[in-house]
């Protein structure tokens, strides 16, 4: 959270926080419209871009210092490849060993079943308040809203998640859920919901306020919940990585601990953890390791532990020839931090639990129609693939999803018309060269208002280049053809 006004003595005029994509049932998310609103909020756009680019630079600095970094990436990729190729065996091994440790293991085929299982566990223990650490899977399942509807209060203990919960928003980033908010935004949220001073935007003081307000919930909760970064098959252990220690408090203070884990989080052996622990925080925020790396192997004396293993489309995704390797993802957020579209448009513009490049390839497997526009929210520059610690070919999968959307008639009418026209133009060299000459001539003579108008989407956030005196093709024909006959 960064203040947007650093000038001494200057009056602070707060820019309202732009909201995310508008929900329209199962209709396609209009990411572009939401992105336009975020970009128009120049204070938030600049803060968001600067902060995430800082995380990317921190990541580069600390990874380049490790001589064997590319070997680690390859090893991590191969471990995930092996695990996903034998997922049924490792899931059975994990269940067997977890049960031997005294843990209750449940299986959920989708988000709805996950929520029912968690509800039943809580109801059986007469729990009315659940404290939980950050978990993207529970967001994916809509668990908090489900439990709220049946009278069970869910309190997020992660600072960013709690900010988003109080403000009625989804997380905008996998690792830093409230990264799109300025410190003034947070001060307003806390003033409205925690009764703090709306003019107090000092970050340590804001953090302390959240800590003081949340601690009583942790001490009095009937149950705690954590997510799962890694699940070790050979030991039945769940590993959770945090920087605030809130997962330890949620798991160890209440008498009941529930773990929500996606089936893809498996790694075969404890020694495999060393590879991923070295990579996770370095890729996420540029630090050598998370402050807390907690291993939960079984319940405490007198306590109870449950693990819910969730499919929710993962098995189906595993059978998708072009998209199954997205299951390698360790949720580090590095692809988001480097993506120029995500950095400038904000995570909430995607209208989905997962945003940025990884969201673009995950979300259509959840709902192809609703997220049909997301594969086009990319420049296809490949930076996401270059930073991925497990070598997911993200940009190639984005392109593959574009083909799927086109083949299944999921393109908007305007985009479909433009792509058809572009196809005709690019398939004819003569027509293409005529169009280029005409466009260059038009740029030289047309008034600005005719070029920069609502119909020309290309000029909404960028200036057109100056038209050259001649095209490269014309120059080549004049200076290099030497009388050779030009091919059509």
Q: Which helix (H) or strand (E) holds 49?
A: helix 42-64
Query: Tokens representing 428?
Result: 């004819």
Q: Is the pLDDT of residue 286 over 60?
A: yes
User: 77-315: what CATH class?
Assistant: alpha beta
For residue 96, give the nearest of 313, 327, 328, 309 by alpha carbon: 309
Judge contact between 147 and 130, C-beta under 8 A.
yes
Q: Is the pLDDT of residue 10 over 60?
A: no
Judge contact between 181 and 1, C-beta under 8 A.
yes
Task: Write down the pTM of the prediction.
Answer: 0.87
Q: What is the pLDDT of residue 12?
A: 57
Identify each DSSP E strand in 44-138 by its residue range.
104-108, 129-132
Q: What is the pLDDT of residues 294-304, one digit of tens each?
A: 999 999 999 99
CA distance 197 to 206: 10
Mean pLDDT, residues 348-375 taken together: 96
Per-residue CA distances from 293 to 99, 272, 457 (Å): 22, 14, 47
Q: Is the pLDDT of residue 3 over 50?
A: no
Q: Is the pLDDT of residue 306 over 60?
A: yes
End-to-end Cα distance, the chain: 57
Q: What is the pLDDT of residue 229?
A: 97
In sequence order, what are the residues at sequence separation of 6 or more whose Cβ sits closer than 8 angstroms to the Cβ of residue 17? 41, 44, 180, 181, 182, 185
Q: What is the pLDDT of residues 190-238, one digit of tens each?
A: 999 999 999 989 999 999 999 999 999 999 999 999 999 999 999 999 9
Mean pLDDT, residues 172-191 taken together: 96
Judge contact between 240 and 249, C-beta under 8 A.
no
For the chain, what percent of residues have pLDDT higher than 70?
93
Q: What is the pLDDT of residue 463?
A: 78
Mean pLDDT, residues 176-184 taken together: 96
Q: What is the pLDDT of residue 2?
A: 39
Around 32, how many Cα atoms within 13 Å sit in the side-chain half-sphere? 13
Judge contact between 348 and 172, C-beta under 8 A.
yes
Mean pLDDT, residues 299-313 taken together: 97
Query: Tokens representing 58?
Result: 């921190």
Per DSSP bridges, beta strands 266-267 and 230-232 are parallel
Residue with tokens 């890694």: 230
Mean pLDDT, residues 450-470 taken together: 73
Domains of the chain by residue range: 26-65+333-411, 77-315, 428-479
pLDDT confidence bin for 424, thresholds 50/70/90 = confident
For residue 278, give the nearest of 95, 68, 442 by alpha carbon: 68
Per DSSP bridges, beta strands 230-232 and 153-156 are unpaired
Q: What is the pLDDT of residue 450?
A: 66
CA distance 210 to 381: 39
Judge contact between 134 and 227, C-beta under 8 A.
yes
Q: Is the pLDDT of residue 6 over 50?
A: no
pLDDT confidence bin for 5, thresholds 50/70/90 = very low
pLDDT confidence bin for 474, thresholds 50/70/90 = confident
Phi and psi dihedrals of 177, rounded to 5?
-60, -30
CA distance 356 to 345: 9
What is the per-residue DSSP string for 298-358?
Answer: SPPTT-EEEEEEE-TTHHHHHT-TTTGGGGG-----HHHHH-HHHHHH-GGGG-SSS-HHH
Query: Tokens representing 285?
Result: 């925020």
In sequence order, what are the residues at sequence separation of 6 or more whose Cβ sits closer than 8 angstroms to the Cβ of residue 10? none
Q: What is the pLDDT of residues 99-153, one digit of tens each?
A: 999 999 999 999 999 999 999 999 999 999 999 999 999 999 999 999 999 999 9
Q: What is the pLDDT of residue 129?
A: 97
Please give the DSSP secondary-structure letter assigned to residue 410.
-
Judge contact between 88 and 314, C-beta under 8 A.
no
pLDDT confidence bin for 479, thresholds 50/70/90 = confident
Q: What is the pLDDT of residue 454?
A: 74
Mean pLDDT, residues 167-189 taken together: 96
Q: What is the pLDDT of residues 16-56, one digit of tens each?
A: 999 999 999 999 999 999 999 999 999 999 999 999 999 99
Per DSSP bridges, beta strands 237-242 and 230-232 are antiparallel
pLDDT confidence bin for 484, thresholds 50/70/90 = low
Q: What is the pLDDT of residue 453?
A: 75
CA distance 346 to 415: 23
Helix (H, G, I), strand (E, B) or coil at 111: helix
Residues of 23-36 as b/e, b for ≥16 C-beta within 10 angstroms? eeeeebbbbbebbe
């Amino acid at each position: 959270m960064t203040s947007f006004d650093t000038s001494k003595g200057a009056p602070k005029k707060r820019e309202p926080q732009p909201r995310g994509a508008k929900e329209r049932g199962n209709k396609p998310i209009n990411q572009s419209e939401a992105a336009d609103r975020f970009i128009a909020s120049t204070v938030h756009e600049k803060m968001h871009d600067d902060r995430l680019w800082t995380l990317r630079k921190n990541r580069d600095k600390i990874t380049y210092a490790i001589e064997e970094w590319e070997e680690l990436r390859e090893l991590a990729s191969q471990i995930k490849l092996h695990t996903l190729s034998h997922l049924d065996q490792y899931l059975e091994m994990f269940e067997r060993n977890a049960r031997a440790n005294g843990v209750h293991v449940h299986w959920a085929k989708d988000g709805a079943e996950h929520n029912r299982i968690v509800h039943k566990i809580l109801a059986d223990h007469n729990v009315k308040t659940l404290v939980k650490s950050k978990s993207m899977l529970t967001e994916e399942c809509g668990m908090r809203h489900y439990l709220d509807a049946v009278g069970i209060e869910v309190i997020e203990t992660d600072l960013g998640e709690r900010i988003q919960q109080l403000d009625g928003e989804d997380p905008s980033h996998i690792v830093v859920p409230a990264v799109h908010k300025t410190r003034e935004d947070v001060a307003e949220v806390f003033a409205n919901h925690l009764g703090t001073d709306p003019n107090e935007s000092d970050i340590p003081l804001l953090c302390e306020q959240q800590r003081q307000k949340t601690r009583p919930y942790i001490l009095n909760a009937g149950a705690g919940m954590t997510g799962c970064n890694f699940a070790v098959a050979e030991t039945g252990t769940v590993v959770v990585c945090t920087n605030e220690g809130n997962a330890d408090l949620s798991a160890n203070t209440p008498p009941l601990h529930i773990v929500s884990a996606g089936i893809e989080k498996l790694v075969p052996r404890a020694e495999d953890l060393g590879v991923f622990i070295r990579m996770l925080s370095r890729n996420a925020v540029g630090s050598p390791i998370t402050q807390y790396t907690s291993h939960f192997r079984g319940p405490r004396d007198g306590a109870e532990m449950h693990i819910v293993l969730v499919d929710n489309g993962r098995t189906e995704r595993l059978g998708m020839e072009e998209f199954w390797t997205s299951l390698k993802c360790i949720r580090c957020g590095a692809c988001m931090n480097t993506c120029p579209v995500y950095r400038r448009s904000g995570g909430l513009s995607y209208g989905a639990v997962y945003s940025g490049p990884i969201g673009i390839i995950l979300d259509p497997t959840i709902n192809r129609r609703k997220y049909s526009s997301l594969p086009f929210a990319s420049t296809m520059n490949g930076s996401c693939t270059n930073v991925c610690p497990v070598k997911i070919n993200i940009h190639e999968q984005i392109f593959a999803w574009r083909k799927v959307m086109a083949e299944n008639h999921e393109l908007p009418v305007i985009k479909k018309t433009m792509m058809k026209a572009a196809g005709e133009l690019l398939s004819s060299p003569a027509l293409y060269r005529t169009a280029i000459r005409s466009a260059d001539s038009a740029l030289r003579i047309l008034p600005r208002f005719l070029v920069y108008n609502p119909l020309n989407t290309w000029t909404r956030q960028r200036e057109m280049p100056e038209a050259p005196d001649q095209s490269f093709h014309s120059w080549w024909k004049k200076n290099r053809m030497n009388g050779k006959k030009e091919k059509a």
